[in-house]
Amino acid sequence: MAQSDARDLLENAAFLSSERLLMLGFLVSNKTMNRIPNKWPGRYPAVVRSIAEMISSLGPRSLNLVHYNTDNKGELGAELLNVHQLIGGDLDGFQINAAWPEVVQLYTYVNDCQFVKPRIVLQIGGRAMEMKGRDPRLIAAAIDQYRLPGLEVVTDVLIDPSGGLGRPFDPVFARSCLSEIKDRHPECGIGVAGGLTAENVDDLVAPLLDEFSMLSIDSEGRLRTPQPDDALDMEKAQAYLTRSSEMFSSHL
């Protein structure tokens, strides 16, 4: 929500290994694009264009992604193009917070995007999991459509049942999903999210790193102040970044 927060986090990320970037996520929806308030005003910038200002001087150590959701699934491709054009070339891509978006919409965006090929993270949330019966094999198979040879429109997949509410993920179920995904799509980036904090990142993530050394992680809900303020808690965020960086360094 503020450039100063992003800069402070990047300073703390200076000791991340050269193989890792700090992902900074900026929440946008079709509602906020049209200045319609939503239920998370502390998380969505009121003026989408302000994201361009926030990321304009952050440098190469950050991966700048808009985390996007929409009620208009049939217009997703056009909406992504609109957001990217509004923010500009410093935006690296999107995390799609939608259950199994239409692949043609993602192709529309990637094919028509005027910037460098964008990174697209497909969030596999609770609803997406339920739609596949919470079966890791079916979840992995459903990713096939986004990873056709030569048309790999999705670059990364995030296993995230929390929906930004801070619910810890199940590491056993996550491992099963990650294994199935890597078996089918070994070149696809993989990540996990759900209730991560400085206090539990070792317990939840470290056991996965022996098998998935380049695993990415994502945290939101439990790094924020209580409602109704719901702001980024910089003390919690810095502690999480420090501890997770130390954990990754110890698994190099």
CATH of the domain at 78: 3.20.20.70
Q: Which of 232, 113, 62, 93 is nearest to 158 (CA)?
A: 93
- Note whether residue 226 is domain-resident: no
Q: Residue range 186-212: average pLDDT?
A: 96
- Note whether residue 246 is domain-resident: no
Of 68-77, 78-87, 161-170, 234-243, the one with minimum mean pLDDT is: 161-170
pLDDT for the residue 15: 60
- Note whether residue 211 is domain-resident: no
- Note whether residue 231 is domain-resident: no
When divided into structural domains, the chain yields a total of 1
Percent pLDDT > 90 in the chain is 75
Q: Look at residue 40 and tell me whether its pLDDT is greater than 90.
A: no
- Note whether residue 38 is domain-resident: yes
Q: Look at residue 170 and tell me whether its pLDDT is greater than 80.
A: yes
- Note whether residue 172 is domain-resident: yes
Q: Look at residue 11 and tell me whether its pLDDT is greater than 70.
A: yes
- Note whether residue 216 is domain-resident: no
pLDDT for the residue 68: 98
Contacts of 69 (CB under 8 A, 6+ apart): 29, 30, 96, 97, 98
pLDDT band at 168 (very low <50, low <70, confident <90, very high): confident
Domain that holds residue 149: 3-193
Q: Look at residue 16 and tell me whether its pLDDT is greater than 70.
A: no
Percent pLDDT > 70 in the chain is 96
- Note whether residue 59 is domain-resident: yes
Mean pLDDT taken over the chain: 92
Spatial distance between the Cα atoms of 138 and 129, rounded to a whole number of angstroms: 9
Q: Residue range 209-230: average pLDDT?
A: 93
Residue showing tokens 């990320």? 13
pTM of the model: 0.94
Q: Look at residue 150 and tell me whether its pLDDT is greater than 70.
A: yes
